[in-house]
Structure 1
Amino acid sequence: MTNRRDFLKKAGLAAAAGTTALAAPAVRAQSKITWRLQTYAGPALAEHVIKPAIDAFNKAANGEMQIDLYTADQLVPTGELFRAMQAGTIDAVQSDDDSMASPVDIKVFGGYFPFASRYSLDVPTLFHQYGLNEIWAEAYGEVEGVTWLSAGAWDPCNFATIKPIKSLEDLKGLRIFTFPTAGKFLTRFGVVPVTLPWEDVQVAMQTGELDGLAWSGITEDYTVGWADVTKYFLTNNISGAWCGSFFANSARWDEVPEHLKTLFRLCIDSSHYYRQHWYWGGEAMLRAEGTKLELTTIPDEEWETVEQEALKFWDEIAATSPRAAKVVAILKKYREVMEKAGPPYRYS
């Protein structure tokens, strides 16, 4: 009996010890993931085009991950964003392909590709329904170290200038701050594209280094202070919406758990949605009720020559690579569908 009692006692202790070990296994604490994300936008604009989404992500991530947001040129110049992200100097980027010099053949379609869109809804439709998502994923899949995540629409591209523009003749000789591909196209009409750091633009307008901007719609002109240093706003635009994207360093993206990847993608979609209504409403309200800029317009028949010239430009870009040709073919097909659909998709 003594031996039996000793056996049961020892067995009970062993069982208890085993239960305790299983109930409270040693767990290594997961350290919080921290990213540095730089946007193309300056501080005032970033408050709208990205900050709400990043704030929402940080709150919903519940301490598992935090994204620190930096604005235009704060960590690296905009033209170096891609290389810095690829090298891991920064973890993620919100920008267009064109101005950050992405080493892909479709970079010219980022930013403002002339007359590629008429309205902001054209951009997500082209990506989600006409195949641009797959083309962008393919292009960036060939580049080491960077993962393309999502594209969306921003505002149209209009001129804001010191002198009024009422004809194509008025464009000649104007020194204009704009995007690389848009600037290349506008040289056909005598525009002189000027590249400057974003934060230097307002001073350059005041010192006479610039005659104007073709960087945004009227909402940004008011939001960032450019309406304070220009006098006129040309209602004709060379593109109905800026096309920008979110990107991440591939190694850093791979470290993120799937549930946080899903959360980040949802917050990106939230950012896309916010910009749709913020810009759409802002463009109309400030044209109708804004007091800082006088509106001017180039007659439709004269502006039509600019649009026709853009189609020639499309063909030149299509000749640069098979993939670029595929994008141009999609843009032409989309243009054809929209014109056949008629109002409200396209007005003659």
Structure 2
Amino acid sequence: MKRRDFLKTAAVAGAAATFSGCTREQIEGKKSFNVSRQRKVKLKLATSWPANFPIMGTGVDRFAEKVKTMSGGSLEIKVYPKNILVPALAVFDATSSGQIDAFHSGPYYWKGKNPAFALFSGLPLGMVASELKCWMDYGGGYELWRELYAKYNLHPFVGGNTGVQMGGWFRKPIESLDDLKGLKMRIPGLGGEVMAKLGVNPILLPAGEIYTSLERGTIDATEWVGPALDIRMGFYKVARYYYTGWHEPGSILELTFNKARFDSLGDEHKAIIRYAAEAMTTEMYHEFMDENAKALKKLKEVHVEIRDFPPDIIEAAKKALMQVVEEQSAKSGDFKRVFASMDAYERVIRPWTDISEAKYLSIR
């Protein structure tokens, strides 16, 4: 058995003992091998989140712990919260240049560098988390992502998923499409571009300014993530109406490495990073599910009114989305190519999703 095959088998099996001390000699009765005997490697990873930020930040911390354990201490990743090594939204450039070795953030933040990058976070009214992961793994998503990121000397992994995000907090109820006209809303990414087509004035604000802006009426509405993180922001204190979501049905987060640095690692360390990232993605998604459920119960207790957007808004959003896609595709060949890949894969997987999970949920 080759060393790479051994490690992959061990990682898939999740045998902690194998990584913490069990040698190849103990497994095969042959010459011993242990990843902890490799040259020790230390990497610096910066995030776009504050220290101890729930789920996303703490998930990265657990990722680093797994890497150290699985490598027997031969690979250490030091995690730095935002603004410690570099500002929150400077992590892409810092990793690209080799100032740091890796970062954890969201691909939609970099759409100014290439419009196609926003698509790797997901598409409004598009695939949900499980479908997006299938596209990445089996539908060509990873190949496209890594091809485009390689131009910036970067090598990305999926590093978590928020699941379906909520549609936002509104100071006043939204009864029809007309109620969106002139509305000032904090909403980024492609969802913001779609909302702009519906008459909304999208506003970009850092996290620390959102609550105050909503409280003072500087903005009329804001989206954030979901109950687990939204309740910590206190939005329910100043905006009573909480709408279900469509603009981010399964937002992918990224764990991205400097490509030259990643390529210099040994095969065992590369495999450890890969499987630790897979574990982080799964754990983060399920933690969001669990924490959102608990927070939703608390929000109901404080009499938050949870609503769906009216049908005319959803229909208008679908049409606006296609306008945005056509405009971006005309401007960027990369956007056109990535969207075509996503759209083709959704046509493959959606019929199964519709008759399996969607049908079951409708029955339940």
Alignment TM-score, normalising by the size of structure 2: 0.76
2:120 aligns with 110
1:153 aligns with 161
Aligned-partner Cα distance in 1 for 2:42–2:184: 41
Structure ID, larger Rg: 1
Please list the CA deviations of residues 201-246 of structure 1 after superposition, one character each: whole Å capped at 9, or x if unmatched.
3343344433332232223212454445543210142231112221
Match of 2:209 among 192, 200, 220: 200
Query: Are 1:313 and 2:324 counterparts?
Result: yes
1:80 aligns with 90
- Provide structure 2 residue ranges, at least 5 long, that are not aligned to the other structure: 1-36
8 A contact 1:175–1:192 mirrored in 2: yes
1:336 aligns with 347
Identical-pair percentage: 21
Query: Are 1:259 and 2:271 counterparts?
Result: no
Structure 1 segment 137-216 matched on structure 2, within 5 A = 137-143=146-152, 145-150=153-158, 152-157=160-165, 158-216=167-225
Alignment TM-score, normalising by the size of structure 1: 0.79
8 A contact 2:157–2:255 mirrored in 1: yes
Q: What one-letter code is carried by the residue in structure 1 that aligns with 2:49?
A: A
Query: Are 1:39 and 2:47 counterparts?
Result: yes
Which sits farther off after the overlay, 321-330 or 272-281? 321-330
Match of 2:69 among 34, 52, 59: 59
1:93 aligns with 103
Please list the CA deviations of residues 136-157 of structure 1 after superposition, one character each: whole Å capped at 9, or x if unmatched.
12112233x3222336532323
Over 3 Å counting, the alpha-carbon distance change for 1:320 and 1:199 in structure 2 is: same
8 A contact 1:105–1:321 mirrored in 2: yes
Structure 1 segment 221-260 matched on structure 2, within 5 A = 221-260=230-269
Q: What one-letter code is carried by the residue in structure 2 that aligns with 1:58?
A: K
8 A contact 2:111–2:118 mirrored in 1: no
The alpha carbon displacement at 1:93 in A equals 1.0
Aligned-partner Cα distance in 2 for 1:326–1:222: 38
Q: CA RMSD in A?
A: 2.9
Aligned-partner Cα distance in 2 for 1:190–1:137: 35
The alpha carbon displacement at 1:339 in A equals 5.0
Number of residue equivalences: 318
Please list the CA deviations of residues 236-274 of structure 1 after superposition, one character each: whole Å capped at 9, or x if unmatched.
422311122211112332343322221111111111101
Please list the CA deviations of residues 33-79 of structure 1 after superposition, one character each: whole Å capped at 9, or x if unmatched.
33221223333333444222222223333332322223344433333
8 A contact 1:92–1:246 mirrored in 2: yes
Which sits farther off after the overlay, 182-191 or 104-113? 104-113
Aligned-partner Cα distance in 2 for 1:99–1:286: 27
- Provide structure 1 residue ranges, at least 5 long, that are not aligned to the other structure: 1-28
Q: What one-letter code is carried by the residue in structure 1 that aligns with 2:229?
A: E
Over 3 Å counting, the alpha-carbon distance change for 1:254 and 1:50 in structure 2 is: same
Query: Are 1:322 and 2:341 counterparts?
Result: no
Aligned-partner Cα distance in 2 for 1:62–1:229: 49
Aligned-partner Cα distance in 1 for 2:230–2:345: 30
The alpha carbon displacement at 1:159 in A equals 0.9
Q: What one-letter code is carried by the residue in structure 2 that aligns with 1:154?
A: T
Aligned-partner Cα distance in 2 for 1:248–1:105: 20
The alpha carbon displacement at 1:323 in A equals 3.3
User: Which has the larger helix fraction?
Assistant: 2
